[in-house]
Amino acid sequence: MQYKPHDYQRYASEFIVTHLVCGLLLDCGLGKTVITLSALYELLLDYFDVGRVLIIAPIRVAKDTWPAEISKWDHLKGLTYSVVVGTVNERRMALQRKAFIYIINRENVSWLIDNGMFDFDMVVIDELSSFKNHKAKRFKSVRKARSTVKRVVGLTGTPASNGLMDLWAEIGLLDKGERLGRFIGAFRDKYFDPDKRSRDIIFSYKPKDGAEQQIYDKISDICISMKAADHIKMPDRIDCVVEVQMDDAEKAMYEKLKAELILSFPDGDVDAKSAVGLSNKLLQMANGAVYDENGKTKVIHDKKIDALEDIIEAANGKSVLVAYWYQHDKERLMQRFNCKCIDTEDDIRAWNEGTIPVALIHPASAGHGLNLQKGGNHLVWFSMTWSLELYQQCNARIYRQGQENIVTIQHLITKDTMDEDVMKALENKDATQESLLAAVKARI
């Protein structure tokens, strides 16, 4: 296929070529893969600036998306690649193949580096935000190998999904700590004040006055941001909340668990052992079911399922995509509806062909690399997630370039429950992230 780049795509590719270190904060659907590959072609085959490139990506994206994009475009012919996934022997064989680009899933990058097989002069980190945890092994491994790399590119649409603290690890992998400092403690002390705390433990931090702008200014020379709505014609999108309400008995059970951290049943108690555990249990109850201490499902109500049934009926035969989180959500939905989980390439193909009337999708396993805009334009959040990144990525499966219809995203929210807190938290995180993206936005 012939590549006819938009102006913003040319700009972004040129930014990669002209910067040894760069972060591309690109909205879903802007074509970050072909933008990056076009730049790699120039660096590898026109300028001979690099010889071996490693791309680190989520497993599905590593196996399918990057190879498909390389094969898709005429101007990338000659750009050889090898996919480093599978068993240890399969990975070793893939590394031995002669190629310009080696594509590995992020779960195996520590294996690659720790076994002394890291021999690359350029690294591309697809979904840089998955390296935001500075305590994670994958972060430590890449950081250890960073000094041997000449060029590095970070790609993400959600750089600060949990707040500005995420940026220290992400930007640090790009510039080796030059802009935000080499140590997380110093970064935290410089830009943040303690927020929620007990006498001995600090649970969270908040930015100091003026800290956000200072951070943005520090990284603006190596980062550019682009919003899809600024550069491509996006379909109209309608977001709405469908509110349901538990009856008095169900609400009493919810409030009892919230107050006492335990809910007794004859054959097994529901026990929330911590604040995180309590949040998890309350979200389950808002959905209508909860796991007890034996791992068995206790059904509390069907309010969300009933509301979803109305939504599916109102869709009048059009396909509906439903985001779920818990296994018991999936089981109960499959009992009520004739639905299919989106798990395999065949499932994706069937959805896009319009043969699946109701499809279930889990944000954690299908957040990246799926193009589902051909199969439908209705998404319903049956279960809410605290992760802004997964939330935005899941929405972008249908709300993206190529969608021909108005997109409707509906959130099933149980009144006076943790659902409402999650919605507010997502909005607050998005405000922080939007400020970041606007501050380093590329004006072409």
For 258-267, write each residue's pLDDT tens digit. Answer: 877 776 666 6
The β-bridge relationship of strands 407-414 and 378-381 is: parallel
Residues 285 and 209 in one domain: no
**DSSP of 157-201, one letter per residue?**
S-TTTT-GGGHHHHHHHHHTTTTT-S-HHHHHHHHEEE-SB-SS-
Say if residue 226 is in the same domain as residue 290.
no
DSSP state, 63?
A: I
Instruction: Say how many domains are in the chain.
Output: 2
* Residues 204 and 286 reside in one and the same domain: no
Question: Is 122 found in the same domain as 80?
Answer: yes
Task: Report strand pairing: 339-341 vs 358-361.
Answer: parallel
Residue 181 in domain: yes
Helix (H, G, I), strand (E, B) or coil at 287: helix
Are the CB atoms for 387 and 161 separated by under 8 Å?
yes
Residue 444's pLDDT is: 47
Closest CA to 55 of 136, 152, 143, 144: 152
Specify the pLDDT at position 343.
87
- Cα separation, 164 vs 235, in Å, equals 30
Angstrom distances, CA of residue 384 to CA of 115, 216, 284: 40, 30, 10
Same domain, 135 and 264: no
CATH number for position 154: 3.40.50.10810
**Count of beta carbons in the 10 Å neighbourhood of residue 81:** 21
Those residues with Cβ within 8 angstroms of residue 339's Cβ, 6 or more apart along the chain or in another chain: 322, 333, 356, 357, 358, 359, 360
Q: 439 lies in a domain?
A: no
The answer to whether 386 touches 364, Cβ cutoff 8 Å, is: no
Residues 89 and 173 in one domain: yes
Same-domain status, 203 and 267: no
CB 125 within 8 A of CB 391: no
Contact by Cβ (8 Å): 149, 80: no
| Statement to judge: residues 225 and 246 lie in one domain | no
Residues 203 and 340 in one domain: no
Same domain? For 77 and 168 the reply is yes
Domain range for 122: 7-231
Cα(137)–Cα(131) distance, rounded to whole angstroms? 9
What stretches in the chain show pLDDT beneath 50? 444
Q: Tens digit of pLDDT for each residue in 276-307?
A: 677 888 899 999 999 887 888 989 999 999 99
436: amino acid identity, one letter: L
Q: How far apart are the two ends of the chain, measured CA to CA in Å?
A: 26
Q: What is the separation of C-alpha 4 from the centre of its chain, rounded to a whole number of angstroms?
A: 28
Q: Are residues 165 and 303 in the same domain?
A: no
Of the three residues 231, 262, 294, the one that is the final residue of a domain is 231
CA–CA separation, 285 vs 299, rounded Å? 8
Is 27 part of a structural domain of the chain?
Answer: yes
